[in-house]
Amino acid sequence: MADPTSLSPEMVANWDRVRQRLKKEIGDASFNNWLRQLEFAGLRDGRLNLTVPTRFLRDWVISHYAERIENAWKAECGARVPAQVQVRPVEAPPVSARDASVSEADLKDGRAAVSFEQSLAELGAQLDPRYTFESFVVGKPNELAYAAALRVAEADGVPFNPLYVYGGVGLGKTHLLHAIGWHIRKRDPSRRVIYLSAEKFMYQFIRALRFKDVMQFKELFRSVDVLMIDDVQFISGKESTQEEFFHTFNALVDQNRQIVISGDRSPSNLDGMEERMRSRLGWGLVADIHTTDYELRLGILQSKVQQLGSKDVPPQVLEFLSHRITSNVRELEGALTRVVAYSNLVGRPITLETTQEVLRDLLRANDRRITIEDIQKRVAEHYNIRISEMHSARRARAVARPRQVAMYLAKQLTSRSLPEIGRKFGGRDHTTVMHAVKRIDELRQTDSNLAEDIDLLRRMLET
């Protein structure tokens, strides 16, 4: 990093004019909150080198002010230079005061140097830049939660308080909360949005108690425009934290500030949570995210493939994963990442076979115990043939095709190996099964009736 003392007087004057301009543009309050601590470290490698004391401020400045700073520089100095914001090395006490292991005296000293907004910002957790509304795939199971989240993010007022989003692990609750945060900050950088997990809330509160700093804690939390608490179930049973949360909650509602909460179950099912809190949480809009369905899983995988920029994942593999990895979206994404990484590493194309190989354990765990017998029965019913034809040696098209469909489904919907499947179809060879799978896969592309049959059968088998 450039030594600031080496800046020419001209540069220092330039930066001073840029600062004045920024202050005028965004107003004193925002300037003091976000840009006051910004320091200029010179022009280097064709970039405007800027530093701030914390990672949070860095991310904030980058996401909210980088363009504005570049414009201001251009207006004052004539050239457009990209801005680069970095965290400057820790200086004396202020920054280390964030560390819970420092002494009480250090903490007090340090805090004096830290602005109100900065403390507030650092009480929260950072938002993940990948979690936006744009990257959220909407389907039947999550459409209500999505619509409600978007509504909150786009409203100038408070459409419902609180918005309570709940659902099982890995279904997109955190993603939606972050999306709300990003969207609000983008629309109006002056709104104070704070996002944190209930656990972190609890930690901050306990720390405030320990350092006898409860006043500042209260003041900070009650000053926000939007408070988002993730995984609220974690404060079940923690009485003093619940109490504090309840008061914070009420204070914010009274001031008409937006609250967004997520949990893993409905408010009324939050055991270990005080009754008054449970009922309070249900006052606004309660939106549940249901478990994913096949279409949503497929949509998510397709969007993920696009993001990854990997073009060579065959549609059958995506379909296969959507059928077989049903537990949660995180696992689904993980499976795709593993398959893509594997193929990159060993330099082999992605096929159904490699996918099954790479994901063997995961697939077993997600096995929904559809049996080959179920498949044979359903397929025979569907094509109106006797179930014994699944085992027979007859080769007439009227029975051979349904048999191939059944083998294909057995491969897709169970974890049985080709020889195992062959055995269940009257002791056929594994190459016969392989041929059937390939043949049906090809036919599906051209024969829309067959494609529909298969879809239908699959659905019946899976419900």
Longest dimension (CA), the chain: 93
Q: How many residues does the chain have?
A: 463
**Per-residue x/- track, 332-371, ligand ADP (CB under 6 A):** -x--------------------------------------
Show contacts with ligand ADP in window 296-335 (CB under 6 A).
300, 329-330, 333
Residues in contact with Mg ion, counted by CB under 5 A, come to a total of 2
Report strand pairing: 163-167 vs 285-289.
parallel
| Between 110 and 141, CB nearer to Mg ion | 141
**Between 359 and 457, CB nearer to ligand ADP:** 359
Binder among 92, 147, 155, 169 for ligand ADP (CB under 6 A):
169
- 3-state DSSP call for residue 411? helix
Q: Smallest distance from the beta carbon of 180 to ligand ADP, in angstroms?
A: 12
Q: How far is the CB of 173 from Mg ion (least distance, A)?
A: 5
Within a 10 A sphere around the Cβ of 342, how many other Cβ atoms? 16
Contacts of 193 (CB under 8 A, 6+ apart): 181, 184, 185, 224, 225, 226, 228
Q: For Mg ion, which is the closer residue by CB, 177 or 410?
A: 177
Q: Does 142 contact Mg ion by CB under 5 A?
A: no
Q: Which stretch binds Mg ion (CB under 5 A): 173-181, 215-223, 308-316, 352-360?
A: 173-181
Question: 92-106: string of b/e by CB count within 10 Å (b at 16+)?
Answer: ebbbebbeeeeeeee
Name the closest residue to ligand ADP (Cβ).
172
Nearer CB in complex with Mg ion: 173/411: 173
Instruction: Select from Mg ion, ligand ADP, none the partner in contact with residue 148, using the beta carbon and a kind-dependent cut-off of 5 to 8 Å.
Output: none
Contact partner at residue 316 from ligand ADP, Mg ion, none, CB < 5 to 8 Å by partner kind: none
Pick what 189 binds: ligand ADP, Mg ion, none; C-beta below 5 to 8 Å, kind-dependent.
none
Edge-first strand listing for the sheet containing 83-87 = 39-44, 47-52, 83-87
The number of angstroms, rounded, from the C-alpha of 383 to the middle of its chain's C-alpha atoms is: 43
Kindly tell me which of 47 and 330 has the beta carbon lying closer to ligand ADP. 330
Interface mask toward ligand ADP for 104-143; x: CB under 6 A: ---------------------------x---xxx----x-
350 three-class SS: coil
CA angle 25, 28, 30 (to 5 degrees): 80
The site partner of 333 among Mg ion, ligand ADP, none (C-beta below 5 to 8 Å per kind) is ligand ADP
Q: Which ranges in 36-130 belong to alpha helices (H)? A: 55-77, 92-96, 104-112, 116-123
Give which of ligand ADP, Mg ion, none residue 284 binds (C-beta under 5 to 8 Å, depending on kind): none
Q: Which value, in Å, is the radius of gyration of the alpha carbons in the chain?
A: 29
Q: How open is the CA angle 6-10-13, to the nearest 5 degrees?
A: 105
Our measurement of the distance from residue 22's CA atom to the centroid of its chain's CA atoms, rounded to an integer in Å, reads 33
Q: Which of 361, 359, 358, 379 is nearest to 370 (CA)?
A: 379
174 scored as a contact of Mg ion (CB under 5 A): yes
Q: Which CB sits closer to Mg ion, 58 or 173?
A: 173
Residue 155 is a binding residue for ligand ADP (CB under 6 A): no
- By CB under 5 A, which span of 115-123, 165-173, 322-330, 382-390 interacts with Mg ion? 165-173
**3-state DSSP assignment of residue 370:** coil
Residue with smaller CB distance to ligand ADP, 308 or 434: 308
Q: Are 160 and 235 in contact (CB under 8 A)?
A: no
Cβ atoms of 321 and 301 within 8 Å: the answer is yes
**Dihedral sign, Cα of residue 50, residue 52, residue 58, residue 61:** negative
Minimum CB separation from Mg ion for residue 175, in Å? 8
Residues of the shown chain interacting with Mg ion in the complex, contacts defined by CB under 5 A: 173-174
Residues of the shown chain interacting with ligand ADP in the complex, contacts defined by CB under 6 A: 131, 135-137, 142, 167, 169-175, 300, 329-330, 333
